[in-house]
A = this chain, B = another copy of it.
Amino acid sequence: MPGRAEQFRREREELNTKILFAGSKTIQRFFALDTAAYREGVLPVKTKELMGLAASMVLRCDDCITYHVLRLAEEGATRAEIMEAMEIGLVVGGSIVIPHLRRAYRLLDELETL
């Protein structure tokens, strides 16, 4: 995995661990619920992650986009599938999404597996 993605993943995990140990029940339960929502149901995990990616793009959250792109790569999504999710994100969210599209595209380019 490239440097940028690896650094994101490490920082994310370190801080999530700290937060979970900080003792807020509400935050612990929210994190558990967040994880549960993306588990396989009647929809496969990949479809759920695609929805997570589209939602993250229209809400313009770079960290969330990075996270879902990495998860999609793990779930075997192809670059073409990820690009189509980004197309939906761009059309729904408008030109304000473009700076995030640029950074998302740079990430795609850095991931060797995609």
Contact = CB atoms under 8 A, between A and B. Distances in A.
A96 B93 contact: yes
Residues of A in contact with B, size category: 35 or more
A101 to B, nearest CB: 7
Copies in the complex: 6
B19 A101 contact: yes
Contacts of A63: 99
B64 A26 contact: no
Contacts of A78: 42
Given A81-B42, A96-B56, A34 B106 contact: no
Interface string A49-80: 01111111111110110000000000000101
Interface of A: 11-12, 15-16, 18-19, 22, 24-27, 29-31, 33-34, 36-38, 41-43, 47-48, 50-61, 63-64, 78, 80-81, 83-99, 101-103, 105-106, 109
